Amino acid sequence: MNTLFETIKYFFIITAELVVLFLGISTIVALILMNLPQEKIKRWMAGKGILGNIMGSIFGSLTPFCACSTVPLTLGFLDIGIPFGAVMSFVIASPLLNPIIIAMMAALMGIKITMVYFLVTFIGAVIFGIILEKTGGASLMKKVRLKEGNNEDGKETPETFSEKLKISFMKAWNDFRGVWIYLLIGVSVGAVIYGYLPEDFVLRIAGPNNPLAIPIAAIIGVPLYIRAETAIPIGVALMQKGMSTGAVLALIIGGAGMAIPEMSMLAAIFKKKLVIAIVSVIFFTAVIGGYIFNLI
């Protein structure tokens, strides 16, 4: 009964924290994007050299988009002539540096883990974009036409802060309505792990003394991942059971970056070689990031 009580208590505490975080961070991000002109973003991403890649990664880190939004944006950026490398940096950073992931990780895992995660994935997105452009990755794009009618640039921006806040919160609420079930699934699985999974089992399979724990976790993260709201509470529960922090980071990076729905949608606009290259880079980023954290 004590274990059941602790499991239920864990479920409600983590659920409450994640709901508040999701709505709060989503509202703030919507406010920022509302006041950040799209034309300026496009000009910054069109910068020469590494600047364009950095700006692509920064914009990707500000956008809590799923693949259904990332793919049209990717096509739109390429359609207006933004360098291929900068767009690829955006493609990598968008799922990995989702502000929801960063906020949840900071709240539940601590600032140190979050900073390592952010730096590893941000630098990886910048470098990956540069390498892909230099190696002719642009030739691996499929000929896909951008559909008209999805551009929201023509919408008027509200003038008063209260109106902007209301619209931003409603957007956050609508986004939450679409993900709340995934959040509850993640917290439920995490609560069961927290309450009932034997610690010695986790330590033996994915503890600090198993050198293969990190690459295994990166691979396991792919089918495990549904959304960030699902992956984070599961990772937290595993860490509390003895899974090494590096392995948890690898699991989250691998799951968020190589999510099967994301890769399926990217396969619609990229040739197979490019999709394989994206998966490979994210896998190595997950593994390297995991080992770096365990070392420090």
User: In a structure prediction context, what are the per-residue pLDDT tens digits for the chain, which is 296 residues long?
Assistant: 457 887 788 788 878 877 887 788 778 877 876 776 667 777 777 777 788 899 889 888 877 555 556 666 777 777 777 888 998 898 888 878 878 778 878 887 788 888 888 998 899 899 989 998 888 888 888 765 545 444 444 456 677 888 888 888 888 888 778 667 767 876 787 677 777 766 666 666 666 777 788 888 887 766 555 555 666 777 778 787 778 888 888 887 877 776 666 677 778 778 888 888 888 888 888 888 888 887 87
149 inside domain: no
d(CA 228, CA 252): 8
Task: State the DSSP code for 147.
Answer: P
Question: What is the helix, strand, coil percentage profile of the chain, to 5?
Answer: 80, 0, 20
Question: Which pLDDT belongs to residue 148?
Answer: 47
197 inside domain: yes
Largest distance between two CA atoms of the chain: 62
Question: Which pLDDT belongs to residue 122?
Answer: 92
Q: State the burial class of residue 279 (Cβ atoms within 10 Å of its Cβ: 0-12, 13-18, 19+).
A: middle
152 inside domain: no
257 inside domain: yes
Question: Which pLDDT belongs to residue 126?
Answer: 93
* Segments forming the whole domain that contains residue 86: 2-143+161-295
233 inside domain: yes
Written as one letter, the residue type at 7 is: T
12 inside domain: yes
Q: Which residues pair with 141 in a beta bridge?
A: 270
Place of tokens 């360098």: 83
Distances (CA, A) of 173 to 14, 20, 30, 126, 193: 19, 11, 11, 32, 29
What's the predicted TM-score (pTM) here? Answer: 0.70
Question: Which pLDDT belongs to residue 154?
Answer: 47
Q: How many domains does the chain fold into? A: 1
d(CA 84, CA 52): 10
45 inside domain: yes
